[in-house]
A and B are shown apart, each in its own frame.
Chain A
């Protein structure tokens, strides 16, 4: 009887892949957030409410994004004259979306709740697009399920339900990868433009497009292959050219806005001085985080894990195109500060996809061990984030 029931569920899933994955995403998400809330209740006791929890987890840069929303809605731009920190360091698209919903609510809604609903929705949508991408590139339903579980219950998942840009960024990035693979270049360009308006590193997706073209060209069965032929082949694809040209639009629109608002188009870079972020090299950051403080500190370990996953994906799984952006993000972020490296890696889609590939090929025992480790790690991270541990921001 039970076997028959399981068989019919399996058949239903096979017939309704899309719908079953949507339900799976929703259920997983709800359970994971109940777990997060449970960790908060356990740590802070005295019957705090759901809204209390949202206020608790919306910390660190959330203050700046909130100020950004108020600035969009007409309040004077907030500048901290003690440090010189101000909102221009942050990119505008996610604050614009939240400001839109705040406006709809006539400013009566709690901004943390609005951000939770909107960004969590972006996150779940990104998981659905990731499922589509995985079915396109790996043709593996189980890989999609693993990816969704890793993202929903895995390390740093709380970032996708707070007022940070992680959710919108991963949604747009996943869409870009998917549309690139589907060769829908114009739609990819539009998503890319929105991506570069979400975070400056979004512009780097043009290198993913270039890498994809190179990889495709190399794999083609042509007798005569050379640089001239490569250029001719791809320049003749007008959709690809326009789609690629659209990607930087978000960033340049922001530069133009800052030029007229602040008088400095690169205010988003110059304001970094107020956060005292210098220009170091990745090698220096790695040396400082891993060797100089041996045994390596937490962020040093996270850097090593990130580099190992990327290296394994490139050299063992031959996922070079998918690793282009993580390498660029790592080079850019780790040259200023190691602090954000883990969340950037989790939030750039293909690194967790690489983890999915690794996980899928593990033995059952290894899978059980890794699952326990990741779940325990996430619960520790949730508690530390609830305690406002700056190491995680």
Chain B
């Protein structure tokens, strides 16, 4: 009898482990902020739970210390006094959209640029070229490109992004910088 009980308990333990394993791997109850930073590693900074929703349309995101800079994805250097440098060919950020049936205008403000031709992609689809005039660029974002909730915006260049020192020898900086983003805002087009 003891033998049978021991085998049954052992079997129940193993079944329990499998169930716990399956439940533990299911991330549906983890917050998006948690998933994006720890699991997908798609965000540059960890955001407190629920903070992604704070990065939505009509919110001015300013990328300097002490400001709201945590919605950055991959392709960024460190936060600095005048903003944050994008690095390489792609630099992404995330914005929450409450009304994806509306058209929007994305306004980017930079503190510096190394002169590459950049374009904006929304959720992986081309939205328009980024052309700066007096350090500000406005790009129309059609509702067709948007999802309800979280959207991925990517600043992309097809140009070969060189080391900063190759363009500005006096800088001695070997990072492959593109633009020094100061702030952005997504406004309703209407």
Contact = CB atoms under 8 A, between A and B. Distances in A.
Given A81-B45, A267-B38, A239 B6 contact: yes
Nearest to B24: A265
A262 B47 CA distance: 14
Contact of B24 (A246, A266, A274): A266
A270 B2 contact: no
Contact of B23 (A79, A265, A274): A265
B27 A241 contact: no
Interface string B16-46: 1100110111111111001101110100011
Contact of A263 (B6, B10, B31, B46): B31
Q: Is the interface of A mostly helix, strand, loop or mixed?
A: helix
Contact of B13 (A249, A259, A264): A249
Contact of B21 (A84, A255, A271): A255
Given A79-B46, A238-B6, A273 B17 contact: no
Contacts, number: 79
B48 interface: yes
Contacts of A79: 46, 48
A256 B23 contact: yes
A246 B16 CA distance: 11
B25 A266 contact: yes
Contacts of B16: 252
Contact of A270 (B9, B14, B38, B47): B38
Given A241-B7, A242-B9, A252-B16, A259 B24 contact: yes
Given A255-B21, A262-B34, A274-B38, A81 B46 contact: yes
A265 B25 contact: yes
Contact of B29 (A238, A249, A263): A263
Contacts of A271: 38
Interface residues of B, number: 31
Given A263-B29, A270-B38, A241 B48 contact: no
A355 interface: no
A83 B44 CA distance: 10
A84 B46 CA distance: 6
A69 B91 CA distance: 39
B3 interface: yes
Main secondary structure of the interface of B (DSSP, over half): helix
Contacts of B46: 79, 81, 83-84, 274
Contact of B30 (A83, A241, A262, A274): A262
B20 A245 contact: no
Chain A's interface size range is 20 to 34
A358 interface: no
A274 to B, nearest CB: 7
A273 B23 contact: no
A245 B10 contact: yes
A248 interface: yes
Contact of B20 (A239, A255, A262, A264): A255
A270 B17 CA distance: 20
A201 interface: no
Interface string A79-93: 101011000000000
A329 interface: no
B6 A252 contact: no
Nearest to B16: A252
Contacts of B29: 259, 263
Nearest to B51: A81
Nearest to A272: B38
Nearest to A260: B29
A252 B21 contact: yes
Contacts of B48: 79, 81
Nearest to B10: A245
A186 B175 CA distance: 59
Given A255-B21, A256-B20, A273 B41 contact: yes
A258 interface: yes
A238 B3 contact: yes
Given A79-B48, A84-B37, 16 more contacts: A81-B46, A84-B38, A84-B45, A84-B46, A239-B6, A241-B6, A245-B9, A245-B13, A249-B13, A252-B16, A259-B24, A263-B30, A265-B20, A266-B24, A270-B39, A274-B46
6 contacts: A79-B48, A81-B46, A238-B2, A259-B20, A263-B30, A267-B38
